[in-house]
Chains A and B, each alone.
Chain A
Amino acid sequence: AQTVTQSQPEMSVQEAETVTLSCTYDTSENNYYLFWYKQPPSRQMILVIRQEAYKQQNATENRFSVNFQKAAKSFSLKISDSQLGDTAMYFCAFMIFQGAQKLVFGQGTRLTINP
C-alpha cells in the first residue's frame, strides 16, 4: 500500500512560535522523494520543501526544516518563527516512479497562525 498519514487534522499557534507538523508514510519503493506542500485559500498548491529519500541530511529552506527518519518512515515539518502568512492547509506527499511520476498525498493539516 502507498499511504501517507497526517495525524493532526488541525493545529493552532501564536505568531513567532515554532510548530511541528507530523507525517508518516508507507511505501515499498526504494526510490522516492518527499514533499511538503501548502495550500492557502487561493487553492494553489505551493511547494514548501523537498527531500530526496537517499539523502540522510535533513532539508532546510529558510524558516522551514524537516526531520526525516527513513527507517521509521517519518517526515515531519518544522516551521520556525511562524508568520500570519503561514496559515494554510499543509500536505505531506511522496513521489514514486511507476511509469508516471505520481504524488501520493496525506489528508492534510490545517494550520492557523494567530496574531
Chain B
Amino acid sequence: ETGVTQSPTHLIKTRGQQVTLRCSSQSGHNTVSWYQQALGQGPQFIFQYYREEENGRGNFPPRFSGLQFPNYSSELNVNALELDDSALYLCASSLGRGAYGYTFGSGTRLTVV
C-alpha cells in the first residue's frame, strides 16, 4: 500500500502570490487533514475534509482554502501570501474518524520572501 505523498517538496514564493499544495492520500483513506508546522513548533490544524466536504477548521483565515477530490486526493490553496506563512505544510490521511492515528506525508516546505 502506498503512503501519503505531497508535492512539491520545496517551494519559494513572493509575498502576495498564491500557492497550491497537493496531497495524495494513502490508499483506502477517505479523510484528509492539513497542518501547518512553523520552524521549531508543533503542527497546527488548518482544516479537514471528509468525502469532499470540509468538516472542521482551525484558527486560520479564509485565504487558506482547500479541496478534496473524488479519489480523496486534496489541495491546499493559500492566497495573498504573507511572510508568516513560511512553514512546513503537512498532509495527513485516515480512514474515518482517525482514532487509530493519521498517516502523514513528508510535507511541503514553503518559503515566502
A101 to chain B: closest residue by CB: B98
Contact B45 A102 (CB under 8 A): yes
Interface flag for A98 (CB, 8 Å):
yes
B103 to chain A: closest residue by CB: A47
* Distance of A88 Cα from B48 Cα, bound (Å): 27
Convert B86-108 into 0s and 1s, putting 1 for each residue whose CB lies closer than 8 angstroms to a CB of A: 00101010100111111111110
Contact B90 A97 (CB under 8 A): no
Interface flag for A4 (CB, 8 Å):
yes
Contact B99 A33 (CB under 8 A): yes
Q: Interface extent on A, as a size class? A: 20 to 34
Contact A105 B101 (CB under 8 A): no
Interface flag for A76 (CB, 8 Å):
no
Contact B92 A45 (CB under 8 A): yes
For the complex of A and B, list the 7 residue pairs with the smallest distance between their C-beta atoms, beginning with the closest: A100-B56, A105-B42, A45-B104, A100-B48, A99-B56, A47-B101, A44-B106
Query: B residues near A, CB below 8 A?
Result: 31, 33, 35, 40-45, 47-48, 50, 55-58, 88, 90, 92, 94, 97-107, 109
Q: List 30 A-B contacts (CB under 8 A).
A: A35-B101, A37-B104, A42-B106, A43-B90, A43-B107, A44-B106, A45-B102, A45-B104, A50-B100, A50-B101, A52-B99, A91-B42, A93-B42, A95-B98, A98-B56, A99-B56, A100-B45, A100-B56, A101-B99, A102-B58, A103-B33, A103-B35, A103-B43, A103-B92, A104-B45, A105-B42, A105-B43, A105-B44, A106-B42, A107-B40
